[in-house]
Chain A
Amino acid sequence: MPDKSTPDEIRARFDADVERFSNLETGQTATMDSQLVLDLVTQAAAAATPRARRLLDVGCGAGNYSLKLLQRLPGMDVTLVDLSRPMLDRALERVSAATRGGVVAVQLDVREFDPGPQRVDIILAAAVLHHLRAEAEWQAVFARFFAALRPGGSLWIADLVSHDIPAVQAVLWARYGEYLTAQQGEAYRDHVFSYVEKEDTPRSLLYQLDLLRACGFTQVEVLHKNGPFAAFGAVKP
């Protein structure tokens, strides 16, 4: 994939875009149903792992998912991981103020991040995995997530996804374009489409569900799917 952005190019874009990712009320407007998904993911995580003490937020951005989950499960220790230091700065400030637990920030590419075995109870990965490229990267990251969870812990993903049937991909991508145009006009749509084309290599929802099972998750669930966006999760036996 020679034309895709490097991690450094991705980091630079997010470094300059902290404000857009810092609104807990509106969510991320380039993502369809972002507010609903934020609610669904955090509600499902809290319900599936109600006694969670340690949260890992991978690709935390400005910390919206952690903040929302802390409203449901207060007091957790939180590990924040992001490629962008300005994003981490904002997330660390906001999340530290929202929990009496400890907060650790890790500035690292998700592909190089290894939390170690059975360290956390809940993992959130929102709008980050679509930056993974080769098959081996997807497999390695999912396997590390599985290993990092304690038994009974849960993993929740909200992300851009692709579709295996090209005609379906075209239909859903067109609908996404209509959504973006309705949000802020055609120039905004073209801007979003250009950085998606440059940066992102999403995999299909079904691919990721299969990969979750292959890694050892036995309970896998879809929370939401609209256009090229999906939210789903799994519980470690």
Chain B
Amino acid sequence: MLRRLLPLLLLASLACSVLSPAGPGGTLAPTAAPTPAYLGQFDCYGAEGGLGAYAGRLTFQPGGAATFKDYDAATTTGAWKADAAAGRLSFSGSLPLASARYAPATDTLDVTLAPNAALVHGEGGRLQCERARPGITGPP
């Protein structure tokens, strides 16, 4: 079990010094572990008219950059950081996203959209994101 947890703990402890754009002022307790176990891409699904629908692909870069490519393939850029106090990830820049909670067990994200974000299939202001598997998840 420890062997399986170790990468997560390492990632969490690294988040300040390696991953977070927050700089030396940022802190992240190892047990908070809100950082995705694997950085990379997530495909996000929202809703329209009560029906679930693909909303876009979220990419986390290790340097702290993030991009969101929406349903219409328009890309916005910004930054992500692990917010230990709140136990979540937060976003800044022109991304239509405000924050997210990461579930390591399922490798999924529960995303809250930024206030007033105009996102296709962003009904209700929430997105559910899963690890991108090109050809399986993603745009229709």
Contacts and interface: CB of A to CB of B under 8 A. Distances in A.
A113 B134 CA distance: 15
B13 A102 contact: yes
A8 interface: yes
B115 interface: no
A104 B11 contact: yes
How many B residues are at the interface, by size bracket?
20 to 34
A114 B41 CA distance: 12
B90 interface: no
Contacts of B6: 96
How many A residues are at the interface, by size bracket?
20 to 34
Query: Interface on chain B toward A: helix, strand, loop, or mixed SS?
Result: mixed
Contact of A8 (B7, B37, B38, B135): B135
Given A96-B6, A113-B61, A116-B63, A106 B40 contact: yes
B73 to A, nearest CB: 14
B131 interface: yes
A96 B62 CA distance: 17
B63 A104 contact: no
Interface in A183-215: none
Contacts of B11: 102-104
A25 interface: no
Given A8-B135, A105-B7, 17 more contacts: A77-B14, A77-B18, A79-B62, A85-B38, A88-B38, A93-B3, A104-B19, A105-B38, A105-B39, A106-B38, A107-B39, A108-B59, A112-B59, A114-B61, A114-B63, A116-B65, A119-B63
